[in-house]
Chain A
């Protein structure tokens, strides 16, 4: 099966600092990656769609200047939380779409997630 990795798995930082999270597709190429956020006991919330070589598309209410997304290659996308605050503490999960599927049959595979705690 397709494997997606995320790094780091857990990060604790001080308020005001920036945190970078990496998402990699290990055994397939992903033209599209997605970034989600999940608060405790709540469902996944899509933050943005990241396309290789182009600007990310952000969901309504997600600040693009705060959550910087870079999708520099077919296997790597990064999410940078800038000037993090305690309310940004959450579980951040990326997923990658396997481009080998076509016609609506693309499957998304999730990374293991990054737990961010901002003090």
Chain B
């Protein structure tokens, strides 16, 4: 079992729709969870971080964390073509300071 799993996609949604990206992790003691966006040929850019169970909203983005289910998700409301990118889920586990990344979900928002 991979430490952090994401559906590789591609996920395709129409402009204006809600895009839902999912991530599961194996280390039950994980404390911090991050979503990064990576455009093709560019480095990852931090979008959201979440530490506590529940929802955290920032503009069109909502991160949801359920530690009991070891599940974290990212919702993008009113999706725009500029949201088309690969979204990386990252988890900080119980050992050390490194982040463990999922392989990313490729999102395409169609005009």
Contacts and interface: CB of A to CB of B under 8 A. Distances in A.
B8 to A, nearest CB: 9
A49 B43 contact: no
How many B residues touch the partner, as a band? Answer: 20 to 34
A97 interface: yes
Interface residues of A, number: 21
A112 B36 CA distance: 13
Interface of A: 1, 32, 34, 43-44, 46, 49, 91, 93, 97, 103-113
10 contacts: A1-B46, A34-B99, A43-B101, A43-B102, A46-B98, A49-B97, A104-B92, A105-B32, A106-B92, A110-B44
Contacts of A49: 96-98
Contact of A112 (B31, B43, B104): B43
B45 interface: yes
A47 to B, nearest CB: 11
A109 B101 contact: no
A110 B98 contact: no
A109 B31 CA distance: 18
Given A49-B98, A110-B45, A104 B51 contact: yes
Contacts of A97: 97
Contacts of A109: 46
Nearest to A113: B43
